[in-house]
Amino acid sequence: MTLLVVTGTGTGVGKTVVTSAIATLAVAAGRLVAVLKVAQTGVDADQPGDVEEVRRLVGPSVTCRELARYPDPLAPATAARRAGLPPVTPATATAAVRELAAEHDLVLIEGAGGLLAPLDDRGGTLADVAAAVAAPVLMVVAAGLGTLNHTALTVEVLRTRALGCVGIVIGAWPAEPDLAAQCNLADLPAVTGLPLLGALGEGAGRLTRGEFLLLARRGLESGLQTLDW
């Protein structure tokens, strides 16, 4: 596996932390890794965004690229329109993926929001990027109540568009999981037919680089080893 699209069932489910965890494990294994953030919204030019968090958690050896940044916390197409800036199109993102893939062993492509959040006013989405570069998708989901429906809907879109999904990761496993979260460990794979590859503890993004690598190994390494990555 040289390309992997990391999407989520919505905002705030832990996509960047999971992307960072995959990147840090790959870097530790000696691979040349790039992380592409297709569009960053809700962050001003002088504020750290998702790529800065990846660099902090993974280290300087990871290549990070952000294609566009828009200050309003909205879908990329809407945020671009409001800012008077050009949107990121699937064609632009696809070209960036191919450029990075020529120089790296693994390129992780992180979207903004969910799989069908509009990138531009012509309806382009992260799903179109995944299709164009023939990349498998990894889905980051919430732990608790409501996640079964959100996850199943995203899986249905993936299957309708003939996009492969390698599995599911819970992006922020709570320190004290409630009944719904505990049941979802079994229910998520049962409902979707996809493997639950792992879970990262809540607050993982606040750890030091060394602590984060240990957490990634505990929460995700064994699941990734089941993949040809």
Catalytically active residues are 37
The greatest distance separating any two alpha carbons of the chain, rounded to the nearest whole angstrom, comes to: 46
**Integer Cα distance of 4 and 97 in angstroms:** 10
In the chain, the amino acid numbered 40 is Q
Other CB atoms within 10 A of residue 191 CB: 15
**Integer Cα distance of 161 and 152 in angstroms:** 14
**Termini Cα distance of the chain:** 4
In the chain, the amino acid numbered 52 is E
In the chain, the amino acid numbered 102 is A
